[in-house]
Structure 1
Amino acid sequence: MQITHIFILVGYIALMIGVGLWFSRSKSVASGEDFLLAGRSLPAPVLAGTLLATFVGSGSIIGAASFIYQYGPWAGMFFFAGTFAGIIVLFFLAKRVHQLSKYTIPQLLEVRFGKPVRIIATVIILVAFIGITAYQFTGAGYIISLITPLTPVQGTIVAAVLITFLALGGGLKSVAWTDFLSIFIVAVSLIALAIYVFAVDLGGISSYVNALDPIKLTVTGGLTPLQLLGYFLPLFLLILGDQNMYQRLAAAASANTARTATIFFFIGAAIVIAPIILLASGSSVLQPGIEADMAILSLAGAEFSPLMLGGLLLTGAFALIVTTGSSYLLTCSGNIVHDLVGQIRGREVSDWQALVIGRMGVLGVALLAYVMVQFFPSVLALQIYAYTMYGVAITPALFAALFWKRATGVAVAVAMIVGGVVTITWEVQGLSEQVNAIIISLPITLVVLVVLSLLTQPRSPRVESGTHASLR
C-alpha cells in the first residue's frame, strides 16, 4: 500500500463524484431522453471519448492483458483486430444510426420483426450486459485492493457503489463527460509507463525480444487458428452490434458529428491499445508465473515504476473500468424502461416515468451483476462469455434488420434463442476451455437465420382474375 497511490485514487474519485453531482442537477437531467441520450447534444470529442472509454474497460486492462501475457504480442494484435475492424464498419453506419435515433437495439428490431423479437432481444441483451457490468466490478475491485488495505471482495463492493452512483446521477451526460476526462488519464499513464518499463526495466526493445518466450513471438502464440478466431470474433461482433455504441451515436449533436467521432474513436483506440499490448507482453518477461489477470496492474509496484507513475496507471485503469461499468448499467436501464416496462404497459412511458424507472433499473442491474461475479473464475472467461452471448444472438439479428430484406421475424427469433442456448450450454459444459463457444454457436445461429428465413417467406396474396389466379 502506497500513500501516494491512495491520494491519486481519492483525487480521481472526488473528481468523478463532482462531475456526477453537477450533471445530476434537475436542469441537466429533466427527462428520459436527457438521462439515456444526453439530450442528443454530445460534441465529437466527447462522443469519441465516451465511445473509447466504454469499449476499453477491464476487458482490455485485465482480460485482454491476461490473454497477451499468456500468448504474446502478435496474438494480442489479432485479439484486438476485431475492435478496429468493427470501428471501420461503424464509421459507415454512423449517419444511419443517428438518423434512426432509437433508445435501444430491441426497438430497432421491432420495426422489422415485431414485438416478440423485441422481447427476446431484450432478455438476451440484459443477460450479456449484466455479465459485462459484472467484470467491471471485479476489475475495479482488484485495483482498489492493490491500493488500499481492502480485500478484492471489499474493493468490488466499493467499486460497485461508485459505478452505480455515476450511472444513477446524471445519466449519459454524466457518464460521457467522465469518460472524456478519464480517457486522458488512461492514455497518458499507459504511454508513460510503457516508455519507462521498456527503457528502464526491460533495457530496450532488443532485450525484450530476446527474453520473450519464443512461442510468444509466433503469430498465433501457440494457439490453433481456430482457437485464435474464437478470441477475435467476440470483440468484432460485439462492437458491430453493441447497443452502447448505437446509443452514443444517436446522442451526437448531428449525423456528421457521429461519423467524425468514429474517426477519433479509431485513433484513440490505437493510442490506448498499443501500450496495453507492450506492457502485458513485457510483464511476461519481468514477472513470469504471476496471475495473468494482474499482468499490467502489477507493474504499478515500486519495483517496476516510480510511485507517481504507478499511481497514475492504477487510477487510469480504474477510470476506464468505472466509466465502462457505468455505461453498461445505463444502457441496461434503457432496455428495462423501453423494452420491458413499456411493452408490459402496452405504451411508451412518459419522460418522468422513464427517468424514475431508469434509475431503479440501474440499481437492479447492479445487484444482479454483483451476483454474477461469483460464478466465473477470471475476468477473461466472463468477458468472452458476455461478448459471445451478445455477438452471436444480437449482432446477426441487427444486421439482418438493417441489410437483409428477406429475413423474417420467426427466423430471427429462433436464431437468437438457439444462439443463446448453444452459448450457455457450451459454457456450462466447460467446453470453452478447448474452443470458445462462438466457433460453434455463430455458424449454427447464421444457418438457422438464413434457412428459416428462406422457409418462412410470406406468400404473395392471390389475385383472382376470371377462371385463374396469378401471384403478385
Structure 2
Amino acid sequence: MDLLTIAVFGYPLILIGIGVWRSRQIKSHADFMVAGRNVPVALLVGTLICTWIGSGSLFGGAGLAYRTGIAELWFSFGAWVGLLVAFYLAPRVRSIAKYTVPDLLEQRYNAAARILGTVAIILAYVTIAAYQFRGGGWILSIVTDGAISPTTGMIITCVTIVAFTALAGMVSIVSVDLLNGIIITLGIVIGLPYLVFSNGGVGEIAAALPEQHLTVLGGHNVLWVIGVAMPTFLLILGESGMYQKFFSAKDAGSAKKAVVGMFLGVVFIETTLALIAIVGRAVFPELADPEQVSLVGRAASETIILHIAANGLPIVGGAILLAAAVAIVLSTGNTFLLVPSTNVSRDLYERFVDPDASEGRKLALQRLCVVLFGGLGLVLLTQFDTVLAMALYAYSLVGASLTPALLAAFLWRRVTPQGGVACIAGGLGSIVGIALLSRFGVNFTATIGGTAFDFASSDYIVIPGVLISLGLLIVVSLLTPPSPEEKWRPFFQENPEKL
C-alpha cells in the first residue's frame, strides 16, 4: 500500500476515532446541535473555513478555474463580499442565542416561515452533502487507480460521513476541523509553488495557457459574472451551518472575531486552489478533453486537484494534498448533514409534533435523519452531471429563498411576517418550479444584447429566483401592517437579553 492510499484511507480513520472519543461528551440535544455554546474562537474559525471550503471549491470551483482561468474567482468573490456583511451580523446572531435559522425565521416572522425555511434548507443541504459523496468517490477511484469505482467510492464516502456526523454532531465537527484546516493549508502551500517551479516557472506556465485564461472575464460577459457570483454571495448570508456555528460560539465577540478569521482563510484557500487548477491546465491540458479520461467521464476537469496530487507532485506532497481533499469532503459533508437533521428534530418534530420529547428521543430522531438524508443524497446524485451544477442549484435555492428574508430580518424594520413568508415561498417555488418545468421542455431562454441566456440553467437560475423573492418581500411588506417593536427590536442590537 503506497503513501497516497494510506493518506486517503488512514486520515478518515483518525477523524472517526476523534469523533468516537468526543461522542462520550454528548449529554443533551443542545450539545449535539451547538456543542454546548462553548466553542473558542480558534476552533470556530477552523470549522467555519472547513464548512465553506467543500467539494464546491475543490471540484466545482477548481474545474471552473481549469476551464475558464482567473475569471473563476468571480465564483468565489461573491462569498467574500458576503462575509463582510456576515461580520456585521455575527454578534447579533449569537446574542439572540437560538439553535437554527428557522428559529430566527419564526421569531422575526411566524411559524409558516419556520416550515418553509426548513423545507428550503433540507432540499439545498442534502444536495450539497450529496456532492461531497461524489467527490469522495472520485478520490477513492483515482487513488486506487480504478480498483474502487466512483460509484462504490461514493457509497463508502457516504457511510463514513453519516457515521461521523451521527456520532457526536457539532462536538465532533468542531473537534476535527482545526486539524482539517491545517492539513488543507499545508497541502495547497506545498502544492502550488512545487507545481509552478517544477514546470518551468511562471513564464512557462502563462505561455502554455489559453489566452482568455489570464483575462478578468475569461471570455464571458457581465451577466455570467452575476450568475456565478450571486449564488455564493447569497448562500453564505443564508448559510444555516454558519449561523448554527455562530450559535455555538462562547459569546457575541467570539462570533465576530471568527468571521475575520474565516474571511482571511477562505480568501487564501479559494484563491490558491484556483491557481493550482489554472497551473494544472498548463501542465495537464489533456483533461480539457473528457473523451480521453474514461475514469470520471464528462466531469474530468473537476478532478484536476486530485490529478495533480496523484501525478504532479512528489509522493509526500501528493499524500498531503489528497489528505487535504479528504478533509474538505468530510468536514463539509458533516455540517451539511447535521444542519437539515437539526431542522427536522428541532424545527419540525420538537416544535410541532412533541414539544415535551425527551432528550434521548430527539437525539435518536436526529441521528436517524442523518442516515436518511445520506441515502437521499445518493439518489440526488443521479440527477446532475457535474459538481458545479449541483452547487449552483443548491446555492441558488438558499440564496433566493432564505437570504433575502434573513437579511431583511436584521436590516429592515419595516419587513412584515407576511412579506417574509411570501419571500421564502417565492424563492423556493421559483427555483424548484423553473428547474422542474425546464425538464419538461419549457423554455426559459431570453436573448439580451444579442446573447441567449438560459435562465433555467445552473449559471443563471438564481437571477429570476432572487428578483421574484425580493419583489415579493418588498411589495407584500409595504402592503401589510408593520410589525410591533418587540418583534423586530432583538434583531437590531447585540444584546437583546437586556430588553
The answer to whether TM tops 0.5 is yes
Partner secondary structure for residue 383 of structure 2: coil
Instruction: Provide the aligned C-alpha RMSD in A.
Output: 1.7
- The structure-2 alpha-carbon separation of the partners of 1:390 and 1:196, relative to structure 1 and needing over 3 Å to count, comes to same
Q: In structure 1, what is the Cα distance between the partners aligned to 2:157 and 2:354?
A: 36
Aligned with 1:213 (options 210, 215, 228): 210
Q: How far did residue 249 of structure 1 move?
A: 1.0
- The structure-2 alpha-carbon separation of the partners of 1:409 and 1:289, relative to structure 1 and needing over 3 Å to count, comes to farther
Aligned with 1:293 (options 302, 306, 309): 302
Match of 2:445 in 1: none
Q: In structure 2, what is the Cα distance between the partners aligned to 1:258 and 1:434?
A: 32
Q: Which moved more, 1:385-394 or 1:222-231?
A: 222-231
Per-residue deviation, residues 382-427 of structure 1 (Å, max 9, x unmatched): 0000000001100011112222222222222222222122212333
| Letter matched to residue 152 of structure 2 | Q
Partner secondary structure for residue 324 of structure 1: helix
- The structure-2 alpha-carbon separation of the partners of 1:398 and 1:434, relative to structure 1 and needing over 3 Å to count, comes to closer
Aligned with 1:117 (options 109, 113, 120): 113
Count of residues in Structure 1 that have an aligned counterpart in Structure 2: 454
| Letter matched to residue 269 of structure 1 | V
Match of 1:10 in 2: 9
Match of 2:364 in 1: 356
Aligned with 2:420 (options 400, 412, 428): 412
| Letter matched to residue 454 of structure 1 | L
Residues 137-176 of structure 1 correspond to what in structure 2 (within 5 A)? 137-148=133-144, 149-176=147-174
Confirm whether residue 20 of structure 1 aligns to residue 42 of structure 2. no
Any gaps of 5 or more consecutive residues in structure 2?
A: 288-299, 440-453, 485-499
Per-residue deviation, residues 277-329 of structure 1 (Å, max 9, x unmatched): 11111111122241221122111223x11112112111211111111000111
| Letter matched to residue 381 of structure 2 | V
Q: In structure 1, what is the Cα distance between the partners aligned to 2:481 and 2:96?
A: 26
Match of 2:495 in 1: none
Q: In structure 2, what is the Cα distance between the partners aligned to 1:411 and 1:16?
A: 44
Q: In structure 2, what is the Cα distance between the partners aligned to 1:14 and 1:137?
A: 17
Any gaps of 5 or more consecutive residues in structure 1?
A: 461-472
Per-residue deviation, residues 332-368 of structure 1 (Å, max 9, x unmatched): 1110111111233262644333222211111111111
Q: In structure 2, what is the Cα distance between the partners aligned to 1:116 and 1:4?
A: 52
**Aligned 8 A contact 2:173 2:331 in 1:** yes
| Letter matched to residue 193 of structure 2 | I
Aligned with 1:245 (options 219, 226, 242): 242
Match of 1:470 in 2: none
Match of 2:47 in 1: 50
Q: How far did residue 445 of structure 1 move?
A: 1.2
Q: Which moved more, 1:354-363 or 1:155-164?
A: 354-363
Confirm whether residue 325 of structure 1 aligns to residue 321 of structure 2. no
Match of 1:272 in 2: 269
Q: Which moved more, 1:280-289 or 1:319-328?
A: 280-289
**Aligned 8 A contact 1:226 1:439 in 2:** no
Q: Report the TM-score when normalising by structure 1.
A: 0.93
Partner secondary structure for residue 414 of structure 1: helix
Residues 70-469 of structure 1 correspond to what in structure 2 (within 5 A)? 70-73=67-70, 75-148=71-144, 149-201=147-199, 203-290=200-287, 291-302=300-311, 304-345=312-353, 347=355, 349-428=357-436, 429=438, 431=454, 432-433=456-457, 435-457=459-481
- The structure-2 alpha-carbon separation of the partners of 1:340 and 1:415, relative to structure 1 and needing over 3 Å to count, comes to same
**Aligned 8 A contact 2:12 2:326 in 1:** no
Q: In structure 1, what is the Cα distance between the partners aligned to 2:76 and 2:8?
A: 28
Match of 2:450 in 1: none
Match of 1:463 in 2: none
